[in-house]
Amino acid sequence: MNRAFVKEPDGGVPEEGLPERQVSDNPNYVTPSGLRQLERKVGELEERRLELREPAEDDGLAREQLDFVDRDLRYFTLRLESAIPVDMSRQPRRMVKFGAAVTVKEGGGATRIFRIVGEDEADPNNGLLSYVSPLAETLLDARVGATVRWRRPAGDRQLTIEAIDYPAE
């Protein structure tokens, strides 16, 4: 049944409970900072869970918040347990691989830096690309001086690889 037609109680939680967060089928590669982010997130959620447990016994809003925290805690614990840390010092310096900070020049002359990271640490607005994103897949295995074609719905773009760096974390 289409989710748009399922009645939810006034609190916003469906009567059958919260749906679980979608877990990617891709390997869960993480940079060192991505691993620290996952550890920090699990710790924050565990603390929040402890804060909400007692009030949730008598307070519907606290119970609802606890449901969200429990769901997110299950998700991030699973992501932490499945994390595959990648040692940046072992990545090839002349080729774009996981963890690389890639400086590209667009056909129009604008220069941008993208870093290829794990799915949970991706933040495209800040230049952090999931390694399974279309742009990251376009950049992977390229070398300095190479021109790649980034295929986009809004039109293809030519990108020239200006530099590759593996930042120390």
| Domain ranges, residue 135 | 88-165
pLDDT at 56: 72
Q: How many CB atoms lie within 10 A of CB 161?
A: 20
Instruction: Print pLDDT tens along the chain (169 aa).
Output: 444 444 444 555 556 688 999 999 999 999 999 999 999 999 999 999 999 888 777 777 888 999 999 999 999 999 999 999 999 999 999 999 999 999 999 987 899 999 999 999 999 999 999 999 999 999 999 999 999 999 999 999 999 999 999 998 7
Query: Based on the structure, what is the number of domains in the chain?
Result: 2
pLDDT computed for residue 15 by the predictor: 61
In a domain, 15, yes or no: no
User: Domain check: are 96 and 160 in the same one?
Assistant: yes
Which one of 38, 59, 85 terminates a domain? 85
Assess contact for 82 and 65: CB atoms under 8 A: no
**What does pTM read for this prediction?**
0.82
pLDDT of res. 13: 53
Contact between residue 134 and residue 123 where contact means Cβ atoms under 8 Å apart: no
Asked if residue 93 and residue 81 are part of one domain, the reply reads no
* 69 in the same domain as 108: no
**CATH at residue 41:** 1.10.287
Rounded-to-integer distance, Cα 162 and Cα 146, Å: 8
Q: Which helix (H) or strand (E) holds 114?
A: strand 111-117
User: Which CATH number characterizes residue 116's domain?
Assistant: 3.10.50.30
Same domain, 138 and 123: yes
pLDDT of residue 92: 92
> Does residue 93 sit within a domain?
yes
Residue-level pLDDT at 11 = 53
Strand-strand pairing, 101-106 and 128-130: unpaired
Chain-centroid distance of CA 57 in Å reads 34
One domain, residues 120 and 63 = no
Asked if residue 8 belongs to a domain, the reply is no
Quick check: is 116 in a domain?
yes
Is 32 found in the same domain as 93?
no
Task: Tell me, yes or no, whether 160 and 96 share the same domain.
Answer: yes
